[in-house]
Structure 1
Amino acid sequence: MTDSCEVLVVGAGLAGLQCARELQAAGRDVRVWEAADDVGGRIRTEHVDGFLVDRGFQVLNPAYPAVRRWVDVSALELQPFGAGLGVRRDDGLAVLAHPLREPQLIARTIGSGLAKPREAAALLRWAAPAVVRSWRQYDGGGRRAAVSGRDVTLRQALDDARLAGELRRVVDRFFAGVLLEDDGSTSNDFARLLLRTFALGVPGLPRMGMQALPRQLAASLATPVRTGIKVNSIRREGGSMLVRASGAELRAEQVVVATDPAGAEALALGNDGGGAAGGLPAMKGVLTHWFAAGEPPSRLNLLCVDARERPGGPLVNTAVVSNAAPGYTPAGRHLVQTSALFGRGRPLPGDDAVRRHAAEIYGADATGWELVARHEVPNALPVQPPPLGSPQPAEISPGVFVCGDHRATASIQGALESGHLTAQAVLRADFR
């Protein structure tokens, strides 16, 4: 016998879960199906020999408006990183820290000489619009308009601000790790929105790992998420949608496809109503390693980058995670994460090259580091080229909706906001 409901959400990542929560709060009969064995989508946490390791290095910034609005951050017991960067230079590891949030690092920041007057002035020229721009200007009622009058690539904007020298390398390599690209091709408006978020909040890690975030969203649903259910087709049949999956079949008045971009495109194209999901966005990949160490290679609880003219290896960043989040490790042990880019035309770094570069950044001996986990995440983040416009429309054909960060911004903010906007679109469709 075919089951039925009012709305089926396909995919239990942040976007799908937020959409389902809001529809449930509005009184709709909602089911959520997920192909994987747990909720979270690209946000997953593994338990390995007493360590917590996230699949791909991710952090939660409590300053995201969507996080403030829909997430109980206090319940996650967020463990914050320091507000600043460790910077590998030719003569050692320097510090560039927020003077108000990290007053104990003021002397090291000033003594580093990283913020030379001319370079600092150029950085302020570029960053100044972030003070007055906000996520509201981007999402604002679904209107498609750039956040600034003229959006260009991040590289072009930094060039226009005449930011050069060592500080430019610091900015480039910091954003390479955040945006998962090292060519500056991302929307400058998006980069400034992220900068504003970093200025307003300090990212951290939940005590139980990043997957605690989607699990919190899923826990509020009246009907538990069904995992291990891979949807094969969505087809309009009469006045409802017939959804067929591995070992299950269901009729729903409306279907929300909240999968990865490739899955969303395939299911959207497969429904009888026609209409694509708005084009398949390119995706960016990241390789993360997690190493166990008996002693921390640094006492800094900061993200560290290699700002030398010729970096010593493939890493875009590294952090001694246990300095910020001791809950990620068993007693007496320390955990080092590293991130490197990979994708088409880019060789995949080996474990030894990664370990060697991380040790060089810290100026430490990594001989005793043990590999805890290695994650190749080819579809870690959608590209976000200029111009940055409002989120794409949620309804792509009668009764079929698509949501995800690939429909909004490539971020936790974008995923939650897309879920919210999609729920609103579903509810509006009831009154047509």
Structure 2
Amino acid sequence: MSDRHRGAPDTVVVGAGLAGLACASDLCRVGRRVVLLEASDGPGGRMRTDRRDGFLLDRGFQVFNTSYPQVKRRLDLRSLRLRPFTPGFVAHTPTGPVRLADPTRRPSAAGALLPGRALTARDLAASAALTARDALLPVALLKRRPDRATSAALSRAGLSDAAVNHILRPFLSGVFLEDGLETSARFFHLVWRSLVRGTLCLPADGIGAVPAQLAGGLPDHVLRLETPVAEVTASGVLLTDGSEVSATTVVVATDAVTAARLLPGLPVPGGRAVTTYYHAVDSTPMPEPTLMVDSTGTVLNTCVLTEVAATYAPPGTALVSSSVLGTDEPGTSDVVLRRLADLYGTDTSGWQQITAYTVEGALPAMPPPWPLSLTTRFGPGRYVCGDHRATGSVQGALASGTRAAREVLADSAPG
């Protein structure tokens, strides 16, 4: 470790999620003495993976998008051993399952896009035009568009109510964690662009491999685990054990609720909750790495994770991930299992539930007009970053942490 990272810190970063890791990394790179304090036993925040009896269990279903600029800048994608999903999804509609896939990546799926099979000719033309605009226009133009709800944007694009309600809404509900398509259309267009230009994957070692790689790039002794912060003080931070860490600069990089507690008066958006159920199955109910979505809304989405990455379960066992909006209420798991029988067309009575994860603030609510990036400055020497200060995505969290480091350095520069 370089001597410049020894001694009393000049900056304390609270929270080792993606935003905190990005901020700490950028500050360390230019010679700031940084301490990164994390309350739990590992980095990653909501992006963690548990190992249990040979299973890899992400704390809530997540996917990794290779097209994000911050991902390309910060991560060694090869070492993550990424395993791709099918470029598309299957939507279970009132008239049966509909498969939508990108014909430029999977030409064999082009037949499903013939008019009348999945979408009408008008819907196909509207979706093609929407996709081309989002994929090809400069990002700056997408960001400057007038903001409205995603539902209004899809209607304005010429998509029919049937296409939206039976196909796009079920898919986007899993992206936004809300089923009214009330999320900012600016964010939707950026997400749609990233889906077209990138590949959705999972690391072979679970989604937690992403923050683990970022943490591994920090200098020794910067990251301190199991060190919860009770209060931000005038001189630094007070830990829950009563000790203090002094620093002229404090960056709060926690979830929105914790950030509001540590920085009283900080306005924060509401949060979206999601619950993910993991089931072990003797044989795969779907022999392909494809995401399924449910137009009834009973299940947000489901997939056989071991078809994406066989490393997620012991040999000879399939692992199925299924998510629902909200928390794990009594009886919900039984309802989910019955719906999975319909979706997969198989008897699910013998499926073994491994665990269920509820994430209360999995994503920030992002109604229009939603600012795609907010300053991280809160007060003299005090900063706040996270996806709730940008967009609810890996890109948003990393970009907010990047902005925090940049503003910290700008404010401390001579003159």
Please indicate, yes or no, whether the TM-score normalized by the shorter chain is above 0.5. yes
Residue number among 388, 404, 409 corresponding to 1:427 in the alignment: 409
What amino acid maps onto 2:237 in structure 1?
Answer: V
Q: Which of 279, 284, 287 is the matching residue for 2:272?
A: 284
* Residue of structure 1 equivalent to 2:322: 338
In 2: Cα distance, 1:175 partner to 1:390 partner: 18
* 2:359 aligned with 1:370: no
C-alpha change, 1:58 and 1:338, in structure 2 (3 Å) is same
Q: Show the counterpart of 2:301.
A: 317
- Give the one of 22, 29, 32 matched to 2:36: 32
Counterpart of 1:268 in structure 2 is 263
Could you report, residue by residue, the CA deviation over 1:3-43 in whole angstroms, capped at 9, with x for unpaired residues?
Answer: 83111110000000010001000011111111111111011
2:207 alignment counterpart: 210
1:104 aligns with 2:108: yes
2:231 aligns with 233
Could you tell me how far apart the structure 2 residues matched to 1:64 and 1:380 are?
A: 19
Query: Could you tell me which residue of structure 2 aligns to residue 351 of structure 1?
Result: 333
Equivalence for 2:250: 255
Contact 1:38/1:227 (8 A) holds in 2: yes
Cα distance in 1 between the residues matched to 2:145 and 2:362: 29
- Counterpart of 1:177, as a letter, is G
Residue number in structure 1 paired with 2:240 = 246
Paired with 1:77 and 1:294, the residues of 2 have a C-alpha distance of 25
CA contact (8 A) 1:297 1:365 kept: no
1:226 to 1:30, Cα distance in 2 relative to 1, 3 A: same
CA distance in 1, matches of 2:236, 2:120: 63
Distance apart, 1:121 and its partner CA: 2.2
Q: SS at the partner of 1:336?
A: strand
CA contact (8 A) 1:157 1:188 kept: yes
Q: Does 1:175 align with 2:172?
A: yes
Which stretches in structure 1 are left out of the alignment for 5+ residues?
139-145, 270-275
The DSSP-based 3-state class of the residue aligned with 1:191 is helix
CA-CA distance at 1:78 after TM superposition: 0.7
Q: Is the 8 A contact 1:292 1:369 kept in 2?
A: yes
Deviates more, 1:116-125 or 1:334-343: 116-125
Quote the offset at 1:379 in angstroms.
1.0
* Partner Cα distance (1:259, 1:40) in 2: 11
Equivalent pair of 1:18/1:416 in contact (CA under 8 Å): yes
State the percentage of identical aligned residues: 37
CA distance, structure 2, for counterparts of residue 93 and residue 334 of structure 1: 22
- The size of the alignment, in residue pairs, is 405
**What do residues 326-385 of structure 1 show as CA deviations (whole Å, max 9, x unaligned)?**
111111111111011016xx9666211111112211212212211011111111100111
Quickly say closer, same or farther: Cα 1:78–1:134, change in 2 above 3 A. Answer: farther
| CA–CA separation in structure 2 for the residues paired with 1:133 and 1:320 | 34
Please list every run of 5 or more consecutive structure 2 residues that lacks an aligned counterpart in the other structure: 1-6
The alignment's TM-score, normalised by the length of structure 2, stands at 0.93
Alpha-carbon separation, structure 2, partners of 1:340 and 1:19? 32
After superposition, residues 342-421 of structure 1 pair within 5 angstroms as: 342=326, 350-421=332-403
**1:128 CA drift (Å):** 4.3
Distance 2:112 2:349 in 1: 28
Inter-partner Cα distance in structure 2 for 1:429 and 1:351? 51
Distance in 1 (CA, whole Å) between partners of 2:116 and 2:339 is 22
Counterpart residue identity of residue 163, structure 2: L
Structure 2 match to 1:155: 151
Whichever residue aligns with residue 123 of structure 1, its letter is S
CA 223–246 in structure 1, closer or farther in 2 if over 3 Å, else same: farther
The answer on whether the counterparts of 1:133 and 1:147 sit within 8 Å (CA) in structure 2 is: no
> How far 1:110 moved relative to its partner?
4.2
RMSD: 2.0
Report the Cα distance in structure 2 between the residues aligned to 1:404 and 1:349, rounded to whole angstroms: 34
Partner of 1:303: 291
Instruction: Find the aligned partners of 1:379 and 1:235 in 2 and give their Cα distance.
Output: 26
